[in-house]
Homo-oligomer: A and B are copies of this chain.
Amino acid sequence: MSLINRQLRLKTRPEGLVRQDNFERHEQPVPELADGQALVRVLYLSMDPTNRVWMSDIPQYMPPVAIGEVMRSLGIGRVVASKSKHYALGDLVQGLVGWQDYALLDENKIGYWVKLPSKPPVALPTLLGACGFSGITAYYGLTDIAPVQAGETLVVSAAAGSVGSIAGQIGKLRGARVVGIAGGPEKCRHLVDDLGFDAAVDYKASDFKQKLAEATPEGVHVNFENVGGPVMRAVLSRMVNGGRVALCGLIANYAGGERASDDYSVIIVKRLTVRGFLAFDCPDQARAVRDLVGWVVSGKVKAGETVVDGLENAPAVLNRLFDGSHTGKLVLRVADDG
């Protein structure tokens, strides 16, 4: 085979936002396959806050990406060559494909590979969003980590994002009053008009705290938290005694800048239960995906993606997670399927 594999390798660790020159573009022929290996044409890359964390040499749940290593990323692709018994030509797979055109799938090495239905019931980007890890994260957070009950008030931050938009809709399915926090009037309108949230509050507005209080007249029972910093502080100040926090992300902290100082004392004063979690730990991902696909196909949950083209744009596209210029799941299209 004489296929050329473009790769983006981490050259230097970014400070704050990601720069194009933090990465080195590398081209090399795809490797010869050994027994047990398959070659995967990368189709879509999942653009996640965790990518930014992986670039930093700080304590985290996986080792950071090493300098010189292909940037780690979840994605979807098709098997285009195989010497594996488990993966056949044409199989659709999800795994840690990396920022490159072709990924090497080795059935004897951990790569978090999952075989997907070859003709999935939803669009491929949705498999990375509402019906993928973003959806699983929302589902796990509101099912196991901080189960929300009918009649309770749920506040979701980064509510127009990939995880938040699904978390809010699951909250509605559970019968909760759902309040979303997002940046700007258009996103807030989207949450209420398109996704069925009960209310949405613009964290960029000068009267944010007052609007949040008005939107949560009975306080907040569950906070599905994606942001941290001042947004989270405002939500915690509205929590009821004994409230629960599903601590999913702290995107306010990931891209550097002034590090928001957190405050544990409110956890005591309000007797909160704060649980951090990762979708990887979800004990029954298959059930979560089954439920999520069912909801999306039946229209009970609306999936949404922002799809951008071009592997070479990955660093700039990733930054859109931090400037709020996307809605729903942010996905990079590397190649067309077919």
Contact = CB atoms under 8 A, between A and B. Distances in A.
A273 B275 contact: yes
A271 B275 CA distance: 7
Nearest to A265: B250
A76 to B, nearest CB: 25
B281 A276 contact: no
A236 to B, nearest CB: 10
State the oligomeric state as a number of copies.
2
Given A59-B237, A237-B59, A261-B261, A277 B266 contact: no
A60 interface: yes
A267 interface: yes
A248 interface: yes
A178 interface: no
A269 B237 contact: no
B261 A267 contact: no
A172 to B, nearest CB: 25
Contact of A253 (B232, B259, B265, B272): B265
Interface string A240-265: 01000001111001000001011111
A278 B268 contact: yes
Contacts of A272: 274-276
Contacts of A276: 264, 266-273
A273 B271 contact: no
B264 A250 contact: yes
Interface in A62-77: none
A215 to B, nearest CB: 20
Nearest to A268: B276
A228 interface: yes
Nearest to A254: B265
B59 A269 contact: yes
A266 B241 CA distance: 23
A291 to B, nearest CB: 22
A269 B60 contact: yes
A255 to B, nearest CB: 13
A299 to B, nearest CB: 32
Interface in A217-252: 228, 232, 237, 241, 247-250
A288 to B, nearest CB: 17
Contacts of A267: 247, 274-276
A238 B232 CA distance: 26
Interface string A22-61: 0000000000000000000000000000000000000111
Nearest to A228: B264
A248 B261 CA distance: 20
**The 3 residue pairs across chains A and B that have the minimum distance between CB atoms:** A261-B261, A267-B276, A268-B276
Given A271-B278, A271-B281, 4 more contacts: A61-B268, A268-B276, A273-B274, A273-B275
